[in-house]
């Protein structure tokens, strides 16, 4: 796991630790000292800790003018034991909501498992973004993770499905990625 780095090809246009509005503003990273772990497996030091011992993230891009943020995740999403959604909502999502972000793109290729609890924070997050005309999209999550989320009906709050699977997001710049995701929300004509 220590070799999996957050996506870095957009760093020429956005760096979360240099964004004064980002919850990770001012963070400093070591390229050589591996200190964060997920179940005793070291992870790359560029991933951001936000309160969960099993789930880390990286803000890949935030666009305050167009009200969206792209977040890449790694680890185990464990609401049952660690209440990961609470930490994600309070430490990352709420600061972005206060800055006018209401469209959230979560990339889950490296989310290995999901363990559910209640849906209160998901419902709160959904209501926060709905008021502003926003959404929460899950991109490239593993099938078994989505299945576990759907078993507890989180699709009521999170956009997930075939249209958000296998998205080749690395081939586009962030603004085009945002438009690509929005275009997949539109009903397809026959």
Structure confidence by residue, pLDDT tens digits, 156-170:
999 998 999 999 999
Q: Where are the beta strands (DSSP E) in 51-156?
A: 55-63, 68-78, 103-115, 135-139
What is the architecture of the domain spanning 16-184? 2-Layer Sandwich (3.30)
CA–CA distance, 64 with 168 (Å, rounded to integer): 24
| Residue ranges in the chain assigned as alpha helix (H) | 84-88, 94-98, 120-131, 143-151, 174-185
Q: What is the pLDDT of residue 2?
A: 67
Structure confidence by residue, pLDDT tens digits, 22-33:
999 999 987 778
At CA 130, angle to CA 124 and CA 136, rounded to 5?
75
| Distances in whole angstroms, Cα of residue 69 to Cα of each of 31, 100, 141, 173 | 25, 10, 17, 13
Structure confidence by residue, pLDDT tens digits, 101-127:
999 999 999 999 999 999 999 999 999
Banded model confidence at residue 189, pLDDT cuts 50, 70, 90: very low
């Amino acid at each position: 796991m220590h070799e999996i780095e957050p996506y870095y090809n957009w760093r020429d246009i956005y760096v979360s630790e240099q964004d004064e509005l980002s919850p990770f503003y001012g963070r400093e990273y070591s390229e050589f000292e591996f200190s964060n772990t997920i179940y005793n497996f070291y992870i790359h030091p560029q991933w951001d800790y936000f309160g969960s011992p099993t789930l880390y993230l990286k803000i890949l891009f935030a666009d305050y003018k167009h009200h969206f943020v792209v977040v890449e995740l790694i680890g185990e999403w464990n609401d049952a034991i660690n209440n990961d959604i609470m930490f994600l909502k309070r430490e990352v999502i709420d600061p972005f909501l206060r800055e006018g972000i209401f469209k959230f793109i979560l990339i889950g290729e490296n989310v290995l498992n999901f363990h559910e609890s209640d849906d209160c924070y998901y419902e709160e997050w959904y209501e926060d973004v709905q008021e502003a005309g926003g959404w929460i999209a899950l991109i490239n999550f593993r099938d078994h993770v989505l299945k576990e989320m759907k078993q507890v009906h989180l699709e009521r709050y999170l956009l997930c499905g075939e249209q958000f699977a296998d998205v080749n997001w690395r081939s586009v710049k962030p603004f085009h990625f945002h438009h690509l995701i929005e275009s997949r929300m539109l009903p397809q004509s026959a």
